[in-house]
Amino acid sequence: MTTIHHRTCHICEANCGVLVEMEGRKVVSIKGNPDHVLSRGHICPKATAIADLQDDPDRLRQPVKRGADGWQVISWDAAFREIAQKVVALQREGARAAFYRGNPGAHDYALSTQSGYLQRAVGARGTFSASTLDQIPHHYAQYQMYGHVSLAAVPDIDRTQMIVIVGGNPMASNGSLWTVPDFRNRVKEMQARGGRLVVIDPRRTETAKVADEWHPVLPGTDTALLVGILQCVLAEGGSLRPGLAELVDDSWAQVKPAVDGFDLDELADHCGIEAATIRSLATELASGKPTSIYGRMGVSVCEFGALNQWLIQLINLATGNLDREGGTMFPQPLLDLVGQVGKGNIRTVETARGTLPSIMGEIPTIAFADELTRDDDQRIRTLFVIAGNPVLSAPDGERTEEALQKLDLMVSMDMHITETSTHAHYILPPCGPLEKDHYTFFFGPLAVRNFGAYSPATLPMEEGAKADWEIAADLAQSILAEKGKPAPNFDTPRERLDAMLKASPAGMSLAEVEAQPNGVDLGPLQPCLKDRLLTSDRLLHAAPPELLEELHRFAARLGEVPEGSLSLIGRRHVRSNNSWLHNSRRLVKGPDRCTLMINPDDAQARGLEDGDMAQVASRVGEVEIVVEITDDMMPGVVSIPHGWGHHRAGVSWRTAADHAGVSINDLTDPERYDRLTGNAVLNGTPVTVEPAREAVAPE
Which residue in 539, 519, 679, 639 sits closest to 246, CA to CA?
A: 539
Under 8 Å CB-to-CB from 214, ≥6 apart: which residues?
198, 199, 200, 201, 204, 208
Report the share of the chain in percent with pLDDT over 90. 94
Under 8 Å CB-to-CB from 74, ≥6 apart: which residues?
62, 63, 64, 65, 82, 426
Does 136-333+535-553 carry CATH code 3.90.79.10?
no
In this prediction, residues 411-429 reach a mean pLDDT of 97
CATH assignment of 564-691? 2.40.40.20
Taking the model in full, what pTM does it have? 0.97
**CA distance linking residue 637 with residue 630, whole number of Å:** 11
Q: Do domains 3-55 and 136-333+535-553 have the same CATH topology?
A: no
Please report, for the chain, the start and end positions of each structural domain, with discontinuous segments joined by +: 3-55, 136-333+535-553, 564-691
**CA distance linking residue 695 with residue 188, whole number of Å:** 50
In the predicted structure, residue 563 carries a pLDDT above the cut 90: no
In the predicted structure, residue 414 carries a pLDDT above the cut 60: yes
CA distances to 109, 365, 420, 539 from 98, rounded to whole Å, are 21, 12, 15, 37
**CA distance linking residue 232 with residue 282, whole number of Å:** 6
- The gap from C-alpha 585 to its chain's centroid, in whole angstroms, comes to 24
In this prediction, residues 415-424 reach a mean pLDDT of 97
**CA distance linking residue 194 with residue 562, whole number of Å:** 40
Which residue in 48, 45, 35, 26 sits closest to 6, CA to CA?
A: 35
**CA distance linking residue 542 with residue 157, whole number of Å:** 24
**CA distance linking residue 280 with residue 274, whole number of Å:** 10
Using the Cα atoms of residue 602, residue 604, residue 609 and residue 615 in order, give the sign of their dihedral: negative
8 A C-beta contact, residue 609 and residue 629: yes
Reading phi first (left if > 0) and then psi (alpha if -120 to 50, else beta), residue 449 is in beta
Strands across the sheet containing 26-32? 3-8, 17-23, 26-32
pLDDT digits (tens, 9 = 90+) for 38-83: 999 999 999 989 999 999 999 999 999 999 999 999 999 999 999 9
Predicted pLDDT at 577 = 87
Under 8 Å CB-to-CB from 696, ≥6 apart: which residues?
none
pLDDT digits (tens, 9 = 90+) for 661-681: 999 999 999 999 999 999 999
Predicted pLDDT at 146 = 98
Predicted pLDDT at 490 = 83
What stretch of H or E contains 623? strand 622-629
What stretch of H or E contains 567? strand 566-569
For every residue of 254-272, DSSP letters joined together read: GHHHHHHTS-HHHHHHHHT
In this prediction, residues 321-330 reach a mean pLDDT of 98
pLDDT digits (tens, 9 = 90+) for 299-308: 999 999 999 9
Reading phi first (left if > 0) and then psi (alpha if -120 to 50, else beta), residue 626 is in beta
In the predicted structure, residue 1 carries a pLDDT above the cut 60: yes
**CA distance linking residue 346 with residue 674, whole number of Å:** 14
φ/ψ of residue 513, rounded to 5 = -70, -45
Q: What is the 3-state secondary structure (H, E, C) of 361-429?
A: CECCHHHHHHHHHCCCCCCEEEEEEECCCHHHHCCCHHHHHHHHCCCCEEEEECCCCCCCHHHCCEEEC
Predicted pLDDT at 84 = 98
pLDDT digits (tens, 9 = 90+) for 598-626: 999 999 999 999 999 999 999 999 999 99
In the predicted structure, residue 698 carries a pLDDT above the cut 50: no
**CA distance linking residue 668 with residue 302, whole number of Å:** 11
The chain-wide mean pLDDT, for the chain, equals 96
Which residue in 98, 99, 132 sits closest to 394, CA to CA?
A: 132
Please tell me the CATH superfamily of domain 3-55, with its number. ADC-like domains (2.20.25.90)
For every residue of 203-232, DSSP letters joined together read: B--TTGGGSSEEE---TT-HHHHHHHHHHH
Predicted pLDDT at 693 = 87
DSSP letter for 561, please. Answer: P
Predicted pLDDT at 694 = 73
Which residue in 494, 493, 496, 432 sits closest to 460, CA to CA?
A: 432
In the predicted structure, residue 448 carries a pLDDT above the cut 50: yes
8 A C-beta contact, residue 440 and residue 322: no
As a residue count, the chain comes to 699
Predicted pLDDT at 493 = 96
